[in-house]
Amino acid sequence: MAELIHDIVGAAVQRFRDAPAIIDDAGTATYHELWDRSRRIASGLRGLGVRPGDGVVAVMANRREWSEVELAASMTGAVRSRLNARDGEREWAAVLTDLAPRAIVAGPEFAPVIAGLMKDGSAPSAELITLGPGERYEELVAASEPIGPIELSPEAPAVVFHTSGTTGVYKGVLYLQRNVMAMYRNILATIAADMDSDSVILHVGPLSHQSGLLVIPGLFRGARSLLHSGFDVEAFLDAVENDKVTHALVPPAIINTLVNVPNIRDRDLSSLRTVLYSGSPISAVVLRKAIDIFGPIFLQGYGSTEGGAMYNTIMYPDEHVRALAENPALLASAGRPALYFDIKVADDDLVEVPLGDMGEICVRGDAVSVGYWNNPEATAKSYVDGWFRTGDFATRSEDDFITVVDRKHDMIVSGGLNVYPREVEDVISGHPAVNEVAVVGVPHENWGECVKACVSLHDGAELALEELQQFCKDAGLASYKKPLSLDIVAEIPKTAVGKLYRRALREPYWAGRERRVG
C-alpha cells in the first residue's frame, strides 16, 4: 500500500515510464529519468551521511531538480525544507539555524550566499550541493547507484515549510509523511480531478510554494509539468498556445494582466481547462472579462501553509458563473469547505459564531500540519483541541460560503473602531482609474491609526485623494473606513506567491515606534 510520498511517483512510473514528466530550460525528463535520478540523489545523500530525520534544504529556480530532491528526501526519510528565493541573508540564516540541515541543495545563483552564511557562522555547517553542469549535484547522480526501498513510518516527519505569513517572524510548519499523502489525496480528489495523461501544468509561481504541490499529483495522473522561471505574459501565452497547457495556478494580479493584453483574442487558448487562483478574491469586472476570453474555467481556493498547504475551501468554475449571473457579491467569498476538511468560524474560545457573524477560521483534517518545528509555545497557541487557528477573520453564509475578511494582524484600529483592509480594497478596486490597491494602517496623532490607500493606476489615469474619498462615500463605505491619505505607486509589492505584501508598505510609517496600534 502506498503510504510514503515517493510511492505515488513510483506507481506512476510503472504506467507512464517513457512519457514526458517535467519540461524545463534543460529539456524534457521522462518519468523513468526523473525516478532514476531521484533514486541516485537519494543514494548520494545517504552517502553524505543523511539519515532519517535529518534536514535537507533546497533553494533554486523552477527546475526539475526540485522534484528530484523532493523525492530523494522522502526516499531517505529526510525532512525536506525550503528557502524563499526572494528572502535575504537574515531570513535564510534564521531558517537554516532553526532546521540545522545535514545537506543544502542550491542553484548556482544561491550557493555563494549560503556558503558565506556558513563561513561567517550565521548558519550551521552543512553539506552544500550546488546544481549545474560539472557541479556536485551531477557528480552525485553519476557516482551513485539507485537507492533501494527504505523502511519508514507514515508518522515520520517529512516536510517543514518555513513561513512568515506577513508577520515577518519565521516559523517552521511540520508535516508528517501521512499529512503530505493526505494533502495529495485531497488535491487529486478536487482541484486535479480532471487531470489526465493529456494534461500540461504550467508553473509560473515558485515550486517551493503552492504551484509545486501540483507536480506529484499531476504525475500520478500522467500529466507533465512545464516549468517557467517566473511570469512573463508573452511566454505564458506562447506556452498555452504552443504547448497546449491545460492547467495553471496564478494569483489574481496575473489574471488582471492577461485580460488586458492587446489582441489576446487572436491567441489560441482553447487548451486551457482550469485556471486556479488564490491569495485574494477577484473583482466581478475582471472575472467577466476573463470568462469571456478564456471560458468558465476559473477555480478559487483559500488555504494556509499550516492548514493543509493547498485549499481548505474551493469555489468551482460553475459557482463563479452562477455568482456572476445571480450574486456578484459572492465572488468575494473563497468558496465552501473542501472535501476532507472540517471548518468552523469561531470566537476566541473556539465556539462557532452565528451565521453571518465574524470569527476566526479554524481548520481540522488529516492533511493539516501537526505543529511548529522547535516551537512548542506557538504550537500550543495555534493548534487547539485538534483545530488549527488560522488567524484569518471570516463570515459564513447559510449556504456555507466562507468569506475571508482579513488577517488579524492586518486589521486597522482607528479611534477604537476596527477596519478590515480587504473591505476597503474591494471598494477602491472598483474605481475606473485603479489598477491595483493595498490598504494599510499608518500612525495618526488622534486616532492611533488611520487608513492609507496605496494604488497603482491604469496607464494615463489620474486620481486625487478627494476624488477617491467621494468614490468610497458613494459606494456606501463608512466614513471611518475611508482613506485619509493616498500614495500613488508604480506597483503594489507582493510576496513570492503573488499575495499583497502589506507589511512592505506599512513598515516605513511605523519605523522606530514601539506601539504598532492605537
Task: Please check whether residue 106 is in contact with residue 114, taking contact to mean a CB–CB distance below 8 angstroms.
Answer: yes
Cell of 52: 532519517
CA 344 to each of CA 352, 396, 401: distance values in angstroms, whole numbers, following the listed order: 6, 9, 11
- Per-residue DSSP letter, 135: S
Task: Please check whether residue 105 is in contact with residue 126, taking contact to mean a CB–CB distance below 8 angstroms.
Answer: no
Task: Please check whether residue 338 is in contact with residue 314, taking contact to mean a CB–CB distance below 8 angstroms.
Answer: yes
Nearest to 330 by CA among 339, 319, 346, 318: 319
Cell of 493: 509589492
Between strands 20-24 and 224-227, the pairing is parallel
DSSP-assigned states of every residue in 217-278: HHHHTT-EEEE-SS--HHHHHHHHHHH---EEE--HHHHHHHHTSTTGGGS--TT--EEEEE
Task: Please check whether residue 189 is in contact with residue 217, taking contact to mean a CB–CB distance below 8 angstroms.
Answer: no
Between strands 247-249 and 274-278, the pairing is parallel
Counting Cα atoms < 13 Å in the Cβ hemisphere of 127 gives 17
Neighbours of 487 (CB within 10 A): 15
| Predicted local distance difference test score (pLDDT) of residue 130 | 97
Neighbours of 466 (CB within 10 A): 9
pTM, whole model, 2 decimals? Answer: 0.82
| Predicted local distance difference test score (pLDDT) of residue 481 | 87
Cell of 324: 456572476
- The full set of domains in the chain, from first to last, is 5-13+30-152 (3.40.50.980), 200-406 (3.40.50.12780), 411-510 (3.30.300.30)
Cell of 487: 500614495
Cell of 342: 472540517
Cell of 28: 524534457
pLDDT digits (tens, 9 = 90+) for 476-490: 787 878 999 999 999
Counting Cα atoms < 13 Å in the Cβ hemisphere of 277 gives 23
Quote the CA–CA distance of 512 and 515 in Å, as a whole number.
9
Which parts of the chain have pLDDT scores under 70?
A: 1-2, 164-169, 279-281, 406-409, 413, 415-418, 445-446, 448, 496-498, 512-518
**Host H or E run for residue 157:** strand 157-163
Sheet containing 485-488: order of strands: 434-444, 448-457, 485-488
Sequence-ordered list of residues with C-beta below 8 angstroms from that of 216, at least 6 positions apart, any chain: 5, 8, 9, 67, 70, 184
**Length of the chain (residues):** 518
Q: Residue 437, exposed/middle/buried by CB under 10 A (0-12, 13-18, 19+)?
A: buried
